[in-house]
Chain A
Amino acid sequence: MNNPTRGFKLRTAIFSVFTLLLGLLSTPAMAAYPERPITLIVPWGAGGGTDATGRMIASLLEPELGQPVNVVNRTGGSGVVGHSAIATAKPDGYTIGVATVEIGMMHWAGLTELTGKDYTPIALYNYDAAGFQVRADSPWESVNDAVEAIKADPGKHKSSGTGQGGIWHLAMAGMLNTAGVSPDASPWVPSKGAAPGLQELAAGGVDIVTCSIVEAAALIDAGKVKALAVMDTERNGAFPEVPTLVEAADLDWQMAAWRGLAGPKGMPDDVTAKLTEAFEKVWNSAEFQEFMKGRGFGLVWKPGAEFSEWMDNSDAALGEVMQAVGLAK
C-alpha cells in the first residue's frame, strides 16, 4: 500500500484533468516557432486507429514543442473533408495533420483534386498490411481454396471490410486481379469500416474480410475468425503462423494502409525541421513504441523526402489497381 508513485500519479491525474479543462485558455508568448498552440487534424472519426495514433502523437508532441497540440477530427466524405482541411490550411506549421493512404486514392476516384504533392511531408509512422480473413468454420484452409471457390462460382462469395473503393476493397480486388480472376467474381459488400465488416463475417453475412490482421485480432483470438494470409512481403510479427500471400498462393500482391504526419504545402524549412525533430523523438520514445505495439500497429519511420517518395509510389500503385478493377473515374 505504500507505493511511492501513487501520490505522484494522483497529482498527474488531477493535473491532467485540469489542463484538459483549461487547455483552451493558455496563451503563452515565445519568440521562436512554435509560439502558440498547434492544431493536429485527423481526417477520421474519434475512436478509430487514425484518431488513436493522432491523439497519442499530439499528447507526446506537447512536451517536445512546449505548446499544446489540439487534435481536431474533421471527418466525412471518405476522408476528403479532413485531407482538404490540412492541405488548405495556412502553411505556418500551426496546422498539421495525419495523412492516410486514402490521399492516393481519392483523386483517382474523382472525389478531389488533392494528391500527396499538396502536402509538406513530415514523416511516415505506421504501415499495416491487409490480411485475408474467413470465418473459423469456413471449409477453406488456404487462400488457394478460396480463389478456386470464387473462380468456380463467380458472384457467390461476398467480401467486405470497408466502404466501396476503400483500401481493403482494393486489397481484395487487386488480389483477385493478380490471380487472374475478375474482381467482380467476389462482390464487395460495403461496410463502415473493419469492425462492422468483421461483424458481418462472424454473423455469416459475408465470406471474406480483407481488413488488416490486427483489426481482426480479437475475433481470431475468440476462435470466430481465421486468417489465411497477409498481403505483405513479410509475415506479421504478432501472427508468425500466418503466411504471406506469396507463400500461401504464389500471388505477388501487397496492399497496406499507412499513416503519416504532414502539413500544408509550402511550410518553412525551419518549421518542418523542428517538427520532424520533435516527432522523431516522440516516435522513438518508449511510450509511443509501447502504445503502437500494444495495439498491434505496424511501426515504420520515413521522414521528409522518403515519405514523399512513399506517397508517390503508393499513389501510382493504387491508381494502377483502381484502373484495373474499374474503380477509377
Chain B
Amino acid sequence: MVTRVGIEVSIAVAEAVKLANADVIAAYPITPQTHIVEHLAELVADGELDAEYIPVESEHSAMSACLGSAAAGARTFTATASQGLALMNEVVYVAAPMRLPIVMVVANRSLSAPLSIWPDHSDMMSVRDTGWIQIIVENGQQAVDNTIIAFRIAEDQKVLLPVMIHQDGFTLTHVIEPIIFPAQEAVDKYLPKNRFPLPLNPDRPVAMGEFAPPFIFTETKWAQEVALQNSKKVIIKAWDEFAKAFGRKYMPVEKYHSEGAKVLIMTMGSAGETASVAIDELRKEGMDVGQIRLRLWRPFPFQELREAVKDAEVLIMMDRALSYGGPGGPVASEVKAALYNQTKRPKIVSYVISLGGRDTTVSGFKDIVKQGIEIADKGSKNEYEIYGVRE
C-alpha cells in the first residue's frame, strides 16, 4: 500500500533506509544530519530495523567502520555533513577504489571557518574527486526515493561503487514535506539482496587494500575510472525502473521549461524549487527563460548537459560554493569546460549564491536572471558574480 504522509525529511530518509533493510549503520552526530541518525537509532532500538548501529567516536571512524562492514558484505549506511565530511575525507577516498558499495547521505552545510551550521555546497565540493557516485536532490520525495535507489546502484555487480546523496541541510533536512512512502514489498522487489562478490570470509580468503607500486597503480586507477563512467548506464536504468515501479522519474539533468528557451539557469539542490517559481513569474512577464537542474554530479552527465543547453544563448550558473582564488563556482567551471569545445554554446555567467544558509528568494532569482542577461550581453570585469554580498 502506498501512503502519503507529512513528515520531516530527515525522518523520512531514515525510514527509507529502513525500507532498504540496511544491515549496518555507523554514524557520528553532526548538525544538520542528526535527525537522520537519531531516527535510525530509534528504529533499531525498537526492533523495527534489524541492523547493527555503531555509535562511533568520530566521522573518520564512521566511514572506516563502513569500509569494514561493506567489505564483509553487509548493506551499509551512514550520514554526515560539513566538518564531518571533511574529517572523514581521507576515508571517503578509499571506498571507491576498494569498490565498497556504501550509501551516504550528506546534509550539505558550509565548512568552517567561520563556523556555520547552515547550508551551502562547500562540503559537497570538498569530495568532488573521491570517485563516489554523487546525486543531488532538491526535495524530500527525491531524498527518500534516491536513498532506496542508491543501494540498488551501489550494490549492482556492474557498479560496486559508493553512492553519496546530497541534500541541503535545514532547508531540506529539517522541513516537513508530504512524502509518498513506497510499500515494503515493492521496495523488496525493486532492491535485490546485497550480493557483494568477494566479501571478507574465512572460507574464501581474499586480500583487500594491498599497496600498488608504479607498475600497476595507473591500471588500478583506470579500472576505478572506467567503473565510474560505466555506472551511468546502470544509474539511468535504476531511475527508469524506479519510474516504472513507482511513477517518479529522475534524470541526470532535469529540465523545467528549458526546451527552446534562450536563457537558462542551472541549479543544484533545494534552491532549485525557489528558482522554478522565479522562472514561472519571469515567463509570465514574457521572458524566454527556463531552468535545468543537475541531478547527477558524478559521473558528470556531459552528453545530457550538452543536449539540454544546445538551443540556449545564455546559461546562468548558480553555485553554492566558492573556489577561492579560482574561477568562482566549481560547477560553473565544470560546465564551461564541458561546453568549451562545442561549436554552438551559450555564454556562461557564473553566480555564487546562498553561502552559509543565506536565502536567495524568488525576487533574488529574478534579479539574478536579469543581471545575468545584461552581463552576458555587456560582459563583466569579474570572473564570477557573488550575489547580494555587502562589500
| Chains A and B come from one and the same complex | no
Binding site for B on A (CB under 8 A): none
Binding site for A on B (CB under 8 A): none
